[in-house]
A and B are shown apart, each in its own frame.
Chain A
């Protein structure tokens, strides 16, 4: 295993930023998100879990799917430009598993989502293992771990040796190998530290038990306080719903440009489920919130073979009215007896 000093890691990142698009946790006025950096100096090193997940780089909040340019010389349909080769640095193991959850819909079942596939192809993920589970974390409840390697190309683990911070690099995929070709450091054996886990977390019940609890009055009560905003889904690394609309991009004499846009959408919001004619089969915040949990723990596992939750706990922290997905998991466990 390669072991790097902090200085070596920073030098390597500076080198990567020079040759590729490097994306890492950055502090935007007190909120942590993944942003393009020009070098290791821009990275917000001291983070537990970012406020926004790195899915923004694989499944952008807003994306042009195609552009139609209409002019005197004819009509052209233009595909969006190829995404540049990108390195996502500082990805937490839960977020990497979030990408795998999105893959289950966008890649693993035909037809694949070409737009997402291109981002995925162009991106190499360097993870940094969590030394512990933080306050709202519950990755172990949904099959993950603070040091999980799933979905990552390289995983770095922080070590303390002789009061020096070192990073042990596990190179996990071919993509990772390619990127690590110029990685500095010393090749040697190291024992990786075990992360500190949170004890006493509930057990996630299988989807059949969720199905049996669908009509419980509990779903009405937990949804009473739901504001029907979109915060939980937008911070979620595994939520992948979007809306598509054709919009005018620009209109000049002789040249009109239209764009087919897709942007994140959220099942908790009222217009999400509204259908032609104005009917809404999920008219209440309660019914929509229940859907959010059932999507994650029943529909998505049954239809796409992956849980729709990776236990990052962002929705717990973002929710203005403290709707707590871990409490919901615990309540279903209690109902199931």
Chain B
């Protein structure tokens, strides 16, 4: 059995577990769809005042809410790691001829797929309901979103590597979702952020993702216009991947109180 097949076996097992109770992830699709109509009118006027007279607010509310809520996937993915320790299955897997990278790759696969599916559903359903016009390249939009998904998976791995209890993961997830979305322009349009935020916004992945989305959705740009945001997202994702690789200890006990276990 090849390493990739072992990773797929682990990913399929995680999928089977996910299907036992998919509600937590379904909420990450439903919640932003419920929030979007409340923000759209505000964003519409804000964007129109900001030299986008044809904007209807969907250009901000759909990607903004998608970016904010997808961050809660850190909790779901963290749980998928930590529960293995609580269930004593982590050591069982480690006793088998499975390499550490195969475990990590397998455990990352489902969160990555779910992030992509969540984004796809929100852009599709949200776009349809709220009349989102993609003025630029659809390919460029997908490249930005895919880059953010890869960044988020790397961030998840780093979070799991550095946290020793699930409560720490939960704190990172909640704090990250709100802070990154706030300073990154996912909640408020980048152009409307306070001046002090100029210095900190670039530290947020949401800022670069929103810059990429704005280039496509508001400015009607193509792939070349999103190369910088994509490069920053992939570059910082690589940093988190390295941080995860440096810190991860397969024999480190992990625990904390896990919900529903």
Bound together: no
